[in-house]
Amino acid sequence: MKKLIAFLTGSISEESVIFNSIYLLFRLHIGLSIADGAGLAKVFHKINEKGPDDWSNLAFGVPDWFVKQVGDIGFTFISPTFWAYLAVYGEFIGGLLIALGLLTRLSAFQLAFQFFIVSYVWYKDPFPIAGMYYQQLFFFAYLMAFAVGDGKYSLAALFKRFRSLKIAKPAIVTTVLWFVVLGGQAQSTETVRVSFTVTNPSLRGKMLDFRHYNKNTRVRAAYGYSLNGMASHATHLPAPVRVYEEKNGKKVLLFVVRAQDDGKSFSVNKDYDISREDYLEAARQELDEETARLAEANRDKTIEQTAKEKGLKMVTFRVKGASFLPTKTYVRVQLPWDANPKTNTGFTTSLSRFGEKKVSYPVGTKVYVCDGPYWEKDSKYTEKLVVTVDEEKENYTYAL
């Protein structure tokens, strides 16, 4: 009984079998969980998020969205890419080293620093005790591993026993550097989507405009939304999203939602810091979107001219969404004179049951709705025929 009381009220030495056994389990957990849960998913990441889960759709390196996220936090000296690779390989290789018990203090220090940034810098309203408890627990866990080190039951202790640690350490450092250099050869071009909520705590309704356009991927998402007073609106769009409020016939930029803002809430009555770079980027995206719109209009004129030359009548009709909420919709159009059975002609827009889009195409045109971007090379998407245009379809409305 005295031994039990002494055990429960006392402390355990680092030489204790109980301490070293539990610390081994602790090291395995915090090492393998970060290596598999965070590092591996970035080191081997999907090229096309909707593509298959096999090696043909995996890229080795660091995804573009994470490089951008690191740069947005403020790690731009040298380059955001440098810090992104350091962070990812710190998670993957550093996690494995902690689990094995090699260079534990070095790896734990880096991971503690990363989770400190996530918990107390990246998160805008951190709490010293509660809040981002998952990230904060990992911060203190890696801090503990940094304080203790490799432990008795580790490869480092085994190497010491065989007096070969002097060879092992340089080999490990060389391997880490090799992975960092090799990983720089591949990056992803995937489109990252962000989920966020916009709230209106006032009694007066607000007319909002959500917009995204990327001229490189040609991904476009845009819709207007009337947000009533004391209400909120949740959405899921490609990042970054520009959110405007319509005031006196003009659009005022309220804030920009980026990939790292996933899951966050924004109030339309709060003033958010918008940097000069944000304004310039928004202006560039607006210009790119308008250029694309004009190009699409010119293309439609070309379709009309070609139809006239071929003696085909143009038919005007409307399309609308199938759901109550605005949803990004991919529409592919097969013109009657196109020899290629899978052309990239069409448009992408946000539609709902209450939002319609007027279109005009010549008789014989086939209109398909797709479940993915039909213009991307090697994109695996499915499509459904909505309508084959004929003269009787004039002014009809079709749900996509």
Top mean-pLDDT range of 15-19, 125-129, 191-195, 232-236: 232-236
- Asked if residue 59 belongs to a domain, the reply is yes
Does the pLDDT at position 190 exceed 80? no
> Are 164 and 22 within one domain?
yes
Q: Can you give the residue range of the structural domain that contains 273?
A: 193-286
- The CA distances from residue 294 to 215, 304, 391, in Å, are 13, 15, 27
Would you place residue 51 in the very low, low, confident or very high pLDDT band (cuts 50, 70, 90)?
A: low
- Asked if residue 7 belongs to a domain, the reply is no
Q: Are 258 and 72 in contact (CB under 8 A)?
A: yes
Q: What percent of the chain has pLDDT over 70?
A: 76
The DSSP bridge partners found for residue 268 are none
> Are 122 and 233 within one domain?
no
Lowest-pLDDT range, 101-105, 126-130, 338-342, 350-354? 126-130
Q: What is the pLDDT of residue 187?
A: 42
Domain end marker among 218, 251, 286: 286
Q: What is the pLDDT of residue 8?
A: 63
Q: Which residues contact 388 (CB under 8 A, 6 or more apart)?
A: 364, 365, 366, 367
Q: What percent of the chain has pLDDT over 90?
A: 10
The DSSP bridge partners found for residue 327 are 351
Q: What is the pLDDT of residue 13?
A: 60
Q: What is the CATH number of the domain that holds 326?
A: 2.60.40
Q: Is 372 exposed, middle or buried (0-12, 13-18, 19+ CB in 10 A)?
A: middle
- Asked if residue 58 belongs to a domain, the reply is yes
Top mean-pLDDT range of 127-141, 326-340, 356-370, 371-385: 356-370
Would you place residue 125 in the very low, low, confident or very high pLDDT band (cuts 50, 70, 90)?
A: low
Does the pLDDT at position 52 exceed 70? no
Radius of gyration in angstroms for the set of CA atoms belonging to the chain, rounded to a whole number = 28
Higher confidence at residue 187 or residue 254?
Answer: 254
> Are 349 and 254 within one domain?
no
Domain end marker among 136, 155, 183: 183
Does the pLDDT at position 71 exceed 80? no
**Euclidean distance between CA atoms 382 and 398, whole angstroms:** 19
Lowest-pLDDT range, 8-17, 122-131, 239-248, 350-359? 122-131
Does the pLDDT at position 34 exceed 80? yes
For 202-217, what is the mean pLDDT? 84
Strand 265-267 relative to strand 231-238: parallel, antiparallel, unpaired?
unpaired
- Asked if residue 4 belongs to a domain, the reply is no
> Are 358 and 388 within one domain?
yes
> Are 240 and 373 within one domain?
no
- Asked if residue 294 belongs to a domain, the reply is no
> Are 278 and 368 within one domain?
no
* Average pLDDT in the chain: 78
> Are 199 and 319 within one domain?
no
Q: What is the pLDDT of residue 48?
A: 59
For 100-110, what is the mean pLDDT? 90
Q: Which residues contact 242 (CB under 8 A, 6 or more apart)?
A: 210, 211, 212, 253, 256, 282, 285
Would you place residue 199 in the very low, low, confident or very high pLDDT band (cuts 50, 70, 90)?
A: very high
Q: Which residue has the tokens 């607000």?
A: 206
Higher confidence at residue 313 or residue 51?
Answer: 313
Q: What is the pLDDT of residue 165?
A: 45
Q: What is the pLDDT of residue 182?
A: 46
Q: Is 265 exposed, middle or buried (0-12, 13-18, 19+ CB in 10 A)?
A: exposed
pLDDT tens for each residue of 371-393: 877 776 666 788 899 889 988 87
For 344-348, what is the mean pLDDT? 79
- Asked if residue 30 belongs to a domain, the reply is yes
**Number of domains present in the structure of the chain:** 3
Q: Are 332 and 374 in contact (CB under 8 A)?
A: yes
pTM above 0.75?
A: no
Does the pLDDT at position 176 exceed 60? no
- Asked if residue 301 belongs to a domain, the reply is no
Q: What is the pLDDT of residue 198?
A: 92
For 83-107, what is the mean pLDDT? 88
Q: What is the 3-state secondary structure (H, E, C) of the chain?
A: CHHHHHHHHCCCCCCCHHHHHHHHHHHHHHHHHHHHHHHHHHHEEECCCCCCCCHHHEEECCCHHHHHHHHHHCCCCCCHHHHHHHHHHHHHHHHHHHHHCCCHHHHHHHHHHHHHHHHHHHCCCCCCCCCCHHHHHHHHHHHHHHHHCCCCCCHHHHHHHCCCHHHHHHHHHHHHHHHHHHHCCCCCCCCCEEEEEEEECCCCCEEEEEEEEECCCCEEEEEEEEECCCEEEEEEEECCEEEEEEECCEEEEEEEECHHHCCCEEECCCCCCCCHHHHHHHHHHHHHHHHHHHHHHHHHHHHHHHHHHCCCCEEEEEEECCCCCCEEEEEEEECCCCCCCCCCCEEEEEEECCEEEEEEEECCCEEEEECCCCCCCCCCCCEEEEEECCHHHCCCEEEC
> Are 202 and 338 within one domain?
no
Does the pLDDT at position 317 exceed 90? no
> Are 162 and 200 within one domain?
no
> Are 161 and 268 within one domain?
no
Does the pLDDT at position 215 exceed 80? no
**Euclidean distance between CA atoms 260 and 281, whole angstroms:** 17
Higher confidence at residue 189 or residue 371?
Answer: 371
Lowest-pLDDT range, 125-129, 319-323, 341-345? 125-129
Would you place residue 180 in the very low, low, confident or very high pLDDT band (cuts 50, 70, 90)?
A: very low
> Are 35 and 147 within one domain?
yes
Does the pLDDT at position 311 exceed 60? yes
Q: What angle do CA 147, 150, 156 make, to 5 degrees?
A: 150
Domain end marker among 151, 183, 215: 183
Q: Which residues contact 226 (CB under 8 A, 6 or more apart)?
A: 205, 206, 207, 208
Q: What is the pLDDT of residue 53?
A: 59
Higher confidence at residue 218 or residue 187?
Answer: 218
Lowest-pLDDT range, 89-93, 185-189, 199-203, 396-400? 185-189
Strand 193-200 relative to strand 265-267: parallel, antiparallel, unpaired?
parallel
